[in-house]
């Protein structure tokens, strides 16, 4: 009998199934006696108050990462068992079962709600009442939330192909590109920026695709693979890029953080060494990155120079930061804790504990509130006072 060895890519895929971030390659080693120890949370002196406005239980995420979709005051949420709901002020306007287990979601523009399955099925429902609209299929499992924008629904499959469908589920275009022998799976949302779809790829590339036909408008190098082994050469953009005006930034695992000027055809503004699979956020002054040790680093948007570093959350598998209001950053961690940081210096401003299970998707803004969904399937809206 011949024994078939799993390729390293499959091993990493299995290990990353329930994570939106990579703490380090050492912690991915299944033969290691123990992983890095999470930093203990010390006392803080709150400068604001974080209170629960409402919560709702949609169901467990399992190995998937589910992102709530916020459209105005409505929140669309999903769970691995196929549950999908539209929430208003924490109350379900409707709740349905998709009839299939889900692996990705939610995408919505307030008219259509779209989710995906591990069998490559794309399921669309009415945002008004949850009625089924159409089904389509892509080439492999759907891990990232679909991007829904009016007459266009964009879906990324696990083999890094990008499909666009019209409002009736008919395929409009397909984008595909060669990928390295090893790559990490990505659950990151795609970003709509002006007239193109922005997303990262294995090999350290950030690509802008034209909305109408999927043609690449420009391609930027976030990080170049380097090293002797294929594992060393993994330099994938597996988190969502962040945009602000004409500037967009992205970060690669085992790579760099790089900012681009869209008005100059995606030319590089600056780049510096920094590895992250969690992701980043930005405002008019800074770029805020959760690195692979779960330290949060603030860099100057104009130059990439270091502004501050918050390293008291080491190895807590911290999410990408949400920039909130004028002076706060929000992150979640692997123990379901929401942390507010002062944007000027990185000091802790407040803390809130949810259900103790990981927050894998980056926090989102719901009006003036913070919205998070835990792996256990509880959705929380938090007030900042």
Residue 336 CA to residue 343 CA, distance in Å, equals 21
Residue 173, in any domain of the structure: yes
H helix or E strand, kind and range, residue 113: strand 112-116
Pick the closest to residue 225 from 200, 199, 256, 250 (CA basis): 256
326 inside domain: no
Q: Is residue 251 within 8 Å of residue 274, measured between CB atoms?
A: yes
In a domain, 2, yes or no: no
Other beta carbons within 10 Å of 32: 10
**pLDDT on residue 44:** 97
- The per-residue DSSP string of 360-377 comes to -SPPEEETTEEEEE-TTS
Please list the pLDDT of the chain residue by residue as tens digits (385 residues). 322 222 333 334 333 333 333 333 334 433 333 568 999 999 999 999 999 999 999 999 999 999 999 999 999 999 999 999 999 999 999 999 999 999 999 999 999 999 999 999 999 999 999 999 999 999 999 999 999 998 899 999 999 999 999 999 999 999 999 888 889 999 999 999 988 999 999 999 999 999 999 999 999 999 999 888 999 899 999 999 999 989 999 999 999 999 999 999 999 999 999 999 999 999 999 999 999 999 999 999 999 999 999 999 999 999 999 999 989 999 999 999 999 999 999 999 999 999 999 999 999 999 999 999 999 999 999 999 9
Domain membership of residue 166 (yes or no) is yes
Looking at residue 361, its pLDDT comes to 98
In-domain check, residue 338: no
Judge whether 92 lies within some domain.
yes
Q: Considering the domain boundaries, does residue 362 fall inside one?
A: no
Q: Is residue 125 part of a domain?
A: yes
pLDDT at 33 (0 to 100): 38
Tokens 């050492």 label which residue?
26
| CATH classification of the domain holding 139 | 2.40.128.630
Q: Look up the domain containing 72 and give its range.
A: 66-180
pTM: 0.90
Backbone angles phi, psi at 27, to 5 degrees: -75, -10
Q: Is 33 left (phi over 0), alpha (psi -120 to 50) or beta?
A: alpha
The answer to whether residues 145 and 155 touch, using CB atoms and an 8 Å cutoff, is: no
Give the chain's domain count: 1
**Cis preceding linkage at 106, omega within 30:** yes
Residue of 161, 198, 164 whose CA lies nearest to 183: 161
């Amino acid at each position: 009998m011949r024994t078939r060895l799993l390729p390293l890519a499959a091993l990493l895929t299995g290990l990353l199934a329930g994570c939106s971030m990579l703490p380090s390659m050492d912690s991915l080693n299944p033969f290691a006696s123990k992983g890095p120890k999470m930093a203990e949370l010390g006392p803080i002196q709150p400068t604001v108050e974080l209170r629960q406005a409402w919560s709702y239980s949609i169901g467990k995420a399992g190995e998937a990462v589910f992102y709530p979709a916020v459209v105005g005051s409505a929140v669309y949420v999903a769970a691995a068992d196929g549950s999908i709901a539209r929430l208003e002020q924490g109350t379900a306007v409707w709740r349905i079962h998709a009839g299939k287990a889900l692996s990705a979601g939610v995408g919505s523009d307030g008219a259509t709600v779209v989710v995906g399955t591990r069998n490559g099925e794309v399921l669309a429902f009415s945002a008004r009442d949850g009625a089924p609209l159409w089904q389509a299929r892509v080439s492999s499992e759907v891990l990232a939330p679909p991007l829904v924008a009016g007459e266009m629904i964009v879906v990324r499959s696990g083999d890094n192909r990008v499909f666009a469908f019209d409002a009736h589920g008919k395929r409009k275009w397909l984008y595909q590109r060669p990928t390295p022998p090893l790559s990490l799976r990505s659950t990151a949302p795609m970003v709509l920026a002006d007239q193109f779809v922005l997303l990262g790829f294995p090999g350290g590339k950030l690509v802008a695709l034209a909305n109408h036909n999927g043609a690449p408008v420009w391609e930027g190098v976030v990080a170049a693979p380097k090293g002797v082994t294929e594992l060393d050469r993994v330099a994938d953009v597996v988190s969502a890029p962040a945009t602000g005006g004409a500037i967009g930034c992205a970060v690669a695992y085992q790579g760099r953080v790089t900012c681009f000027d869209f008005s100059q055809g995606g030319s590089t503004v600056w780049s510096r060494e920094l590895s992250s699979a969690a992701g980043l956020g930005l405002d008019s002054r800074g770029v805020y990155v959760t690195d692979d040790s779960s330290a949060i680093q603030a860099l100057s948007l104009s130059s990439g120079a270091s502004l501050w570093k918050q390293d008291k959350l080491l190895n807590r598998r911290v999410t990408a930061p949400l920039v909130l209001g004028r002076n706060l950053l929000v992150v979640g961690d692997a123990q379901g804790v929401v942390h507010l940081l002062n944007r000027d210096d990185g000091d802790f401003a407040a803390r809130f504990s949810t259900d103790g299970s990981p927050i894998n998707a980056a926090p989102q803004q719901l009006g003036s509130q913070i919205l998070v969904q835990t792996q256990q399937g509880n959705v929380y809206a938090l007030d900042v006072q």
